[in-house]
Amino acid sequence: MPEDVWDLHEMNGEEDIIYFMRPPLPPDWDRFKIHARCVRSFIYEEKDAEFENEVWETVALHRTTTNSLFPNLRKLHWVSSAGQISYASLMLGPNLTELKLTTGIAPERKCDGILSAAEYFCPGLESITFICGRYFSVFMSLGLSNLVLSSNRLKFYEADMQIFDEAVVHLVQIQSLKVAKLVVPLGAILGSMLKEVEEPFFPSIEILHIHIRQLNANYLALLTGAQSARLWDISLSADDPLKAVLIQYLAAMQNKPYTNSLRALTLVFPKHRKLSEGRPPLYQPEYKIDREIFQYIFAFKNLTRLHIVSANLDIDDELVLHVVNAFPRLWSLRLIPNHYSGRTPQVTIQGIMTIAIGLFDLRFLGIAFDAVSMGGWEIGPRMKYSTRCHKLEVADSPIRSVGPVALFLSAMFTCFHFEIVTSLPDTGETGDTQNHVAREGYKRLWKQVQEQMVFLAHAREQERRRFSDWPAGLYAEFTPTPEPE
């Protein structure tokens, strides 16, 4: 638009904000339309935007067309608060194929309006992303469901809000759908509706992420009905399931077209509210994730990423060895509790050595281990180490001495920019003051370990260069000896 229409002024002494000096006139809009036809992608993030609500209000009130501001727009990414999400409807048009809306806790009517507008103005959508945080509304769920039902050419779908049963049934039958990240509604009706579908589910799916409030037999068809041989990434999230139910789901994934093509498996089980008031995980064998569960996971022989997050994980050094032997090509391994598990981890430095030596391609490792009982270990001239792993997530692993842990980890992981991630102090039970204090102390000690590893990594590198004539083999001597009190 002409320079006499808009100007810049400084905002909070940091950046310039665009504002209108006068409302745009029809000749100004005619000039704008010439250039608007060339716009194919529009990405708006409120925190980095150069204009405020007044600009959008002026545009909405004085525009000379009821169609999209950018008639040839193909991609719209809109990240804003509830106050600005409704202005995204100014960009909607028949040529739009990719729509991504991200907002926080919002009044339901504003999000409901933009979803209804997208259903009417955008019949050719191929990608839908709707992220609204933890806010839920029946009106928003209805609007999102209607948008899904009106889209027959979807290739990508992601939402953190559940949709109605009819929309889920429609979604599983879309022939072109390749990525589906959905929240499944709770109820028994969906199971019966899925059984009536005769066509294979997700015929072209490649990535399938499902969040279910509670695992039961009603939703098994989502996995048993999937017949795509190109499916390589499955993620299942639910409240802590019973061991028998989880086995039922993993067994349903055996001998499927995607069994051998599966590369990534993620199981995330937040702690159920009822369990928070009950016994700790150690005394809940009916929820335990142990070797019996892993026997079914070992059927997916080509995994390169395995993530399991649950307070009911029951793993030790022997099970870690089985995981390394079953999946030697892992580049990401995450076996951690999502909060304080109530007991000292059974994995020791022997398990960490097994991982560092056996997983050559590993980039990321997340595992809780006992860093207090370090035992005795020696560095041999033929010792193998991990050169590619650059991040270690230790959750709430207990630690007492910084020096021995830093020496051990620097021998196992040689990346110069190695990062250690710990649980936040308030992770876990509400009112669990004792463990909160312990986690805060662990976090400080692990930070010191990371700082020391920066210097030790360079020293280790000089040692290896000095003895570069040694054969590159695999050797590490480990003699467990109790640490003196």
Between the two ends of the chain, the Cα-to-Cα distance in Å is 76
Burial 47-77 (b: 16+ CB within 10 A, else e): eebebeeebbebbeeeeeeeebbbeebbbbb
* Calculated CA dihedral for residues 371, 375, 381, 384, nearest 10 degrees: -40
Rounded CA gap, 229 and 258, in Å?
Answer: 5
- How many CB atoms sit inside 10 A of residue 237's CB? 17
- How many CB atoms sit inside 10 A of residue 249's CB? 22
Picking from 175, 132, 181, 173, the residue whose alpha carbon sits closest to that of residue 157 is: 181
Q: What pTM does this model have?
A: 0.85
Residues 6+ positions from 403 with CB-CB distance below 8 Å: 452
Q: Which two tokens stand for residue 357?
A: 């030596």
Question: What are the residue ranges spanned by the domains of the chain?
Answer: 315-485
Alpha-carbon 368 to chain mean position: 19
- Tens of pLDDT along the chain (485 residues) come to 666 676 666 655 555 667 676 777 888 888 888 888 899 999 888 776 667 677 778 888 888 777 888 889 999 998 877 667 888 888 899 999 999 998 865 555 567 788 888 998 999 999 999 988 766 678 888 889 999 999 999 999 999 888 999 999 999 999 999 999 999 887 778 888 888 888 888 999 999 999 988 888 888 888 888 888 999 999 999 888 888 999 999 998 988 889 999 999 999 987 654 444 445 555 577 888 999 999 999 999 999 999 999 888 889 999 999 999 999 999 999 998 876 555 678 899 889 989 998 998 999 999 999 888 876 666 555 566 777 899 999 988 888 888 889 988 888 888 888 899 987 765 555 445 556 777 788 889 999 999 988 888 777 777 666 665 544 443 444 444 444 54
Q: Quick one: pLDDT at residue 279? A: 52
Rounded CA gap, 255 and 263, in Å?
Answer: 15
Alpha-carbon 52 to chain mean position: 31
Q: Would you call 214 helix, strand, or coil by DSSP?
A: coil
